[in-house]
Structure 1
Amino acid sequence: MIASPRKLARRGILGINGRNTRYVADGNPRRRMPLVNDKVKTKELAREAGVPVPELYGVIEMQAQIKRLRHMLDEKRSFVIKPACGAQGDGIMVVEGENRKGWRLASGRVLSDRALRHHISNVLSGMYSLNGLQDVAMLEETVRFADIFGGVAEAGVPDLRIIVYRGVPTMAMARIPTRESDGKANLHKGGIGLGIDISTGLTTLGVQYDRVIDDHPESGAPLRGIQMPEWRAILDMSARCHGPTGLDYLGVDIVFDEMRGPLLLELNARPGLAVQLANCDGLDRRLLLIADWVRPEHTQDERVDFALHSFGPP
């Protein structure tokens, strides 16, 4: 049975219209949006703010530059191709290496050199961009996933999505790829969302599509009680993204590298609302609490402390 709008409002559930009108339109100036919609600009901004990011090997801006692919890679055979203005993981290609048949992808497929260049050409044409306009292709370091999820993540690279409001970490979840999602950490493609208790960094429950689950549907591994490492550092990283972007309402995506620790993948000015389902709690209640408390003079440490002390399990 679907809950009524009034009942959802009483639980503090935030809908798309509320997100867009009260938080995105009011708190995210349009002139600042390109800073997060363009991943190249996001990476530059993060470096200036001291937030670690995967290394950028090169940027391909026009068709004629595709022939310089190997030169940009400088003998690196493991890399990621990303549309700078893409969304929902579309157009991202993870290349694990090269053999005599071509480029070997993380999925196990092998692409010829011609097919790989054709994919980059499609990225430049805007096939995967947010607005359908011409785009640029990023060549980026492959993150070597730190195995913090045990048998929970068997394919692809899990990441964390943290909602940040006015510099306060507000709600968090882990996004776990599955074979069904083709190794991508996208919930709408069959990935798993794991709610995370902001106060402890422990996973609480799992959701796949609109169904609550306790165990991984493929491996059977339990989903509750997984401790996120360096949790305070992760919250600090996410809070630090508020000032440089000038955006009040942000989705911060973080991944764990086995050598470098947590790295910022990207920012999102209109993050999805599935984080509420993964946490069995409403965003609006927390956002209103932050709005009542936060002041410009509050330091980053104070904002993180507020999150740690205010947002335990509902």
Structure 2
Amino acid sequence: MKFGPFTKLAKAGVLGMNSRNLDFIAAYNPRRLYPLVDDKIITKQLAIEAGVTVPELYGVIRYGGEVHLIEEIAKVHKSFVVKPSRGSGGGGIMVFNGVAKTGLRRMNGQITPWPDIKYHLNNMLSGMFSMGDGSDRVMIEERLVPHSAFSKLAFGGVPDVRVIVFRGIPVMAMLRLPTAESDGKANLHQGGVGAGIDLITGVTTRGVQHNDAIDMHPDFETPVRDFQVPAWPEIMELASRLGHHVGLGYVGVDIVICENKGPTLLELNARPGIAIQTANLRGLRPLLLPIHALKDIPDDVETRIEIAKANWKGEPLDRFFAPGETV
């Protein structure tokens, strides 16, 4: 592989969009496998096959004549999430935590009337919030309850951990925290907070919002650095196992640390963004190239995590090469 031209940022180790797209996504992610991650219903089944915990699926709405099903589901499950199966960037997602006579209660306490909910469902079915052209399906699934450790770090929503996995080996991670500005969503482009994570310890190192460094969560005035992410070894294992299983060489694995279920897969992303470098104040390129140089990747998840930790510390990966193999 010949990598793209080295700009000033590239020389500093920063992975740019063009290099990400050409050298890693195009080179390592066969397009035939994109549906495995672009469609969340397919992703859920793939994760179950890999032995990964996922949110329970309460129902799927496939066409306009089925939008009434949400009322039936609401009678059984008072709290749930509604999302387009092929949505991206958090578009179209609605979170409910209660039922009223006139509609469903949002996380901010407001009631959304049934006609407005059904109108929104039809927009999701039309593909308004989805990748590509054409219609979509609507998923209604369990609302995950975040680990209690996040009580002063997540405003009105569920935080998650994004792990970049390259050839089945975790290379970088960040904690994404919802804010009032982001309307309880953990998406950075909507105003969420990103916190870099030390890959060895699972402790946050710094925080950013809108690419600006911050020390405190904007809503709680709680430090966003030096926070121990719960269940870090399990998160690393889940990310490595699923990243290896899905068949895509370069993938973002988004994980929620649930109070009752532990680390739970939220979704996979075949085109993960590069803002994770800003959150970590560290470039991806020097972490990706040594793993690119490995001829073979071990099937054993423990060994892959050993490689991840050695790579994060900047140690040579010679001991992981086959005899006679060179970088």
- Which of the five TM-score ranges fits, normalised by the shorter chain? over 0.9
Query: Are the aligned partners of 1:57 and 1:73 in contact in 2 as well (CA < 8 Å)?
Result: no
Q: Which amino acid aligns with 2:78?
A: R
Partner of 1:40: 41
Could you tell me whether the CA contact under 8 Å between 2:298 and 2:304 is conserved in 1? no
Runs of 4+ in 1 over 6 A off after TM superposition: none
Deviations 1:271-302 (A, max 9, x none): 00000000011111100011123613452211
SS at match of 1:96: strand
Give the distance between the partners of 1:74 and 1:212, measured in 2 at CA: 44
Q: Which residue is 2:294 aligned to?
A: 293
Residue in 1 aligned with 2:320?
Answer: none
Cα deviation, residue 72, structure 1: 4.3
1:73 to partner: Cα distance: 5.1
Tell me which residue corresponds to 2:104: 103
| Residues 12 and 283, structure 2, Cα contact 8 Å, conserved in 1 | yes
TM-score by length of 1: 0.94
Aligned to 1:111, what secondary structure does the other structure show? strand
Partner of 1:283: 284
For residues 279 and 222 of structure 2, the distance between their equivalents in structure 1, rounded to whole angstroms, comes to 17
What value does the CA root-mean-square deviation take over the aligned residues?
Answer: 1.6
- Bigger mean CA offset, 215-224 vs 83-92: 215-224
Q: CA deviation at 1:68?
A: 2.6
Local SS of the residue matching 2:205: strand
Specify which structure has the bigger relative contact order, considering alpha-carbon pairs within 8 angstroms and separated by 6 or more residues.
1
Q: CA–CA distance in 2 between the matches of 1:172 and 1:54?
A: 21
Distance 1:15 1:32 in 2: 23
How many residues get paired?
310
Aligned to 2:229: 228
1:49 — aligned with what? Answer: 50
What are the equivalent positions in structure 2 for 1:186-265 lying under 5 Å apart? 186-265=187-266
Please state whether the residue corresponding to 2:152 is helix, strand or coil. helix
In 1, the alpha carbon distance for the partners of 2:299 and 2:12 equals: 28
TM-score normalized with structure 2 length: 0.91
Kept in 1, the 8 Å contact 2:58–2:142? The answer is: yes
Question: Aligned equivalents of 1:312 and 1:82: distance in 2?
Answer: 38
Tell me the equivalent position of 1:181: 182
- Is 1:93 equivalent to 2:94 in the alignment? yes
2:268 aligns with 267
- Residue 18 (structure 1) aligns with: 19
Q: Which runs of 5+ in 1 are unaligned?
A: none
Farther off after superposition, 75-84 or 149-158: 149-158
Aligned counterparts of 1:142 and 1:196: Cα–Cα separation in 2:
25
Quick one: distance in 1 between partners of 2:288 and 2:178? 28
C-alpha distance in structure 1 between counterparts of 2:60 and 2:137, whole Å: 7
**Residue type of the partner of 2:107?**
A
Partner Cα separation in structure 1 for residue 87 and residue 201 of structure 2: 32
Identity of aligned residues (%): 46
Distance 2:295 2:153 in 1: 37
Unaligned stretches of 5+ in structure 2?
Answer: 1-5, 316-327
Question: In structure 2, how many angstroms separate the alpha carbons of the residues matched to 1:127 and 1:293?
Answer: 42
